[in-house]
Amino acid sequence: MGWIKVLENDTAISQGDIIEVRAGGKSFAVLNIEGEVCVLDGTCPHEGGPLAKGKIEDGYLVCPWHGWEFDPFTGKDRYNPSRGVRSYSVEVRDDGVYVDV
C-alpha cells in the first residue's frame, strides 16, 4: 500500500497526547512522545480496546479496557514482548506526517 498521510503536520498533536486517526481504511493511535510522533494500530489485540483512548504511564501506552501496556515506539507488550500491536515507520514531511503501511 505504501505511505499514507495521517496528519497535516507534526504540530497537529501536542507532546503527551494520543489521538485516533482513520486513514487508508485503518484506525491508528498517533502519539507524541517527547516531541517524536509514534503510530500504532488503533485497537488492542486483547479485546479490541481503542488505544487512542488510553494513556501514557511510565513511557507505555496503556489500553483503557484492560490495562495492557505497549511500547509506543515498537508496539511490543511491556510484559510479554512476543505479543503486541503493529508499529509503523513514520516520516514527517513538509506537507504532513506519513506512515508506511
For the stretch 46-60, pLDDT in tens is: 999 999 999 999 999
CB 75 within 8 A of CB 68: no
- Between the alpha carbon of residue 39 and those of residues 32, 60, the distances in Å are 9, 13
pLDDT of residue 13: 87
Q: Looking at domain 13-91, what is its CATH homologous superfamily?
A: Rieske [2Fe-2S] iron-sulphur domain (2.102.10.10)
CB 46 within 8 A of CB 63: yes
- Between the alpha carbon of residue 35 and those of residues 15, 20, 67, 86, the distances in Å are 6, 17, 24, 21
Any idea where the domains of the chain sit in the sequence?
Answer: 13-91
pLDDT of residue 9: 82
Measured distance CA(62)–CA(2) in Å, rounded: 28
Q: Which of 33-37, 39-43, 63-67, 83-87 is least confident?
A: 33-37
